[in-house]
Amino acid sequence: MIKKIAHNQLDNILEQQNRQIDYNSNQGIENNSNSNSKDLLIYLHIPFCTRKCTYCCWTAHIPSKILMNFENFQTQFVDSLCVQIQHIGPKLMKAGYNPRHVAWGGGTPSVLSIESLEKVLKVLYSSFDLSGIDEHTFESSPCTLDAEKISFLSSNGVNRVSVGVQSFNDDELKMLGRPHNSEEAINTVSLLRENGICNYNMDLMFAIPNHTSEIWKQTLKQALALDPTHITTYLYNNTPNTVLTDLINKGKYQILPMGEMLELDKQTKQILGERGFYESISQCYITRPEHLHKSEYYVQTYQGDYIGFGNGANSSIKQHFLCNSSDNESINRFIQNPVHFDNCVKYTPFVYDSNIETTFMRILNALCTDKGINFKKFYDHYGFNFEESNINHELLNIAKKTNSFNVSDEGISIKKEDRNIVYIKYLLQVLRIKKPVGSSICD
Ligand X SMILES: C[S@@+](CC[C@H](N)C(=O)[O-])C[C@H]1O[C@@H](n2cnc3c(N)ncnc32)[C@H](O)[C@@H]1O
Whichever of 101 and 318 has its CB closer to ligand X, that residue is: 101
Options 128-136, 234-242, 282-290, 377-385: segment touching ligand X (CB under 6 A) = 234-242
- Could you report how far apart the first and last alpha carbons of the chain are, in Å? 17
Measured over all CA atoms, what is the biggest interatomic distance in the chain, rounded to whole angstroms?
67
Q: What binding mask, one character per residue, do residues 139-158 give for ligand SF4 by CB under 6 A, x or -?
A: --x-----------------
Q: Three-class SS of residue 269?
A: helix
In the chain, % helix, strand, coil (3-state, to 5) comes to 45, 20, 35
Q: Which of 2, 58, 184, 379 binds ligand SF4 (CB under 6 A)?
A: 58
Q: Three-class SS of residue 70?
A: helix
Q: Per CB under 6 A, does 296 bind ligand X?
A: no
Residue number closest to ligand X, CB atom: 164
Whichever of 127 and 162 has its CB closer to ligand SF4, that residue is: 162
CA 114 to CA 4: how far, in whole Å? Answer: 38
Q: Which of 89, 96, 164, 308 binds ligand SF4 (CB under 6 A)?
A: 164
Q: In what order do the strands lie in the sheet with 373-374?
A: 373-374, 411-414, 405-407
Task: Indicate which of ligand X, ligand SF4, none lies near residue 236 (CB less than 5 to 8 Å, by partner kind).
Answer: ligand X
Q: How far is the CB of 288 from ligand X (least distance, A)?
A: 23
Q: Which of 33, 80, 108, 315 binds ligand SF4 (CB under 6 A)?
A: 108
Task: Indicate which of ligand SF4, ligand X, none lies near residue 139 (CB less than 5 to 8 Å, by partner kind).
Answer: ligand X
Options 101-109, 183-191, 333-341, 370-378: segment touching ligand X (CB under 6 A) = 101-109
Site for ligand X in 35-74 (CB under 6 A): 49, 55-58
Task: Indicate which of ligand X, ligand SF4, none lies near residue 306 (CB less than 5 to 8 Å, by partner kind).
Answer: none
Residue whose C-alpha is closest to residue 318's, from 21, 103, 1 = 21
Whichever of 83 and 143 has its CB closer to ligand X, that residue is: 143
Q: Per CB under 6 A, does 253 bind ligand X?
A: no
Site for ligand X in 198-217 (CB under 6 A): 203, 205
Q: How far is the CB of 74 from ligand SF4 (least distance, A)?
A: 15
Strand-pair partners of 284: 232, 281
Beta strand ranges found along 131-210 (DSSP E): 135-140, 160-166, 200-206
Amino acid identity of residue 199, one-letter, is: N
Amino acid identity of residue 136, one-letter, is: H
Q: Three-class SS of residue 35?
A: coil
Q: How far is the CB of 55 from ligand X (least distance, A)?
A: 4
Task: Indicate which of ligand X, ligand SF4, none lies near residue 52 (CB less than 5 to 8 Å, by partner kind).
Answer: ligand SF4
Q: Which of 41, 44, 49, 363 binds ligand SF4 (CB under 6 A)?
A: 49
CA 299 to CA 306: how far, in whole Å? Answer: 8
CA 217 to CA 203: how far, in whole Å? Answer: 15
Give per-residue burial for 264-278: e unless 16+ CB within 10 Å, then b: bbeebeebbeeeebe
Amino acid identity of residue 332, one-letter, is: N
Residues 6 or more apart in contact with residue 279 via CB below 8 angstroms:
269, 285, 419
Give per-residue burial for 336-357: e unless 16+ CB within 10 Å, then b: eebebbbbbbbbbbbbbbbebb
CB atoms inside a 10 Å sphere around CB 19? 11
Decide: 172 and 208 in contact? Cβ < 8 Å: yes
Q: How far is the CB of 141 from ligand X (least distance, A)?
A: 3
Q: How far is the CB of 13 from ligand SF4 (least distance, A)?
A: 30
Site for ligand X in 119-158 (CB under 6 A): 139, 141
Q: Per CB under 6 A, does 374 bind ligand SF4?
A: no
Q: Which of 13, 33, 41, 52 binds ligand SF4 (CB under 6 A)?
A: 52
Binding stretches for ligand X (CB under 6 A)? 49, 55-58, 105-106, 108, 139, 141, 164, 166, 203, 205, 234, 236-237, 239
Binding stretches for ligand SF4 (CB under 6 A)? 49, 52-53, 56, 58-59, 106-108, 141, 164
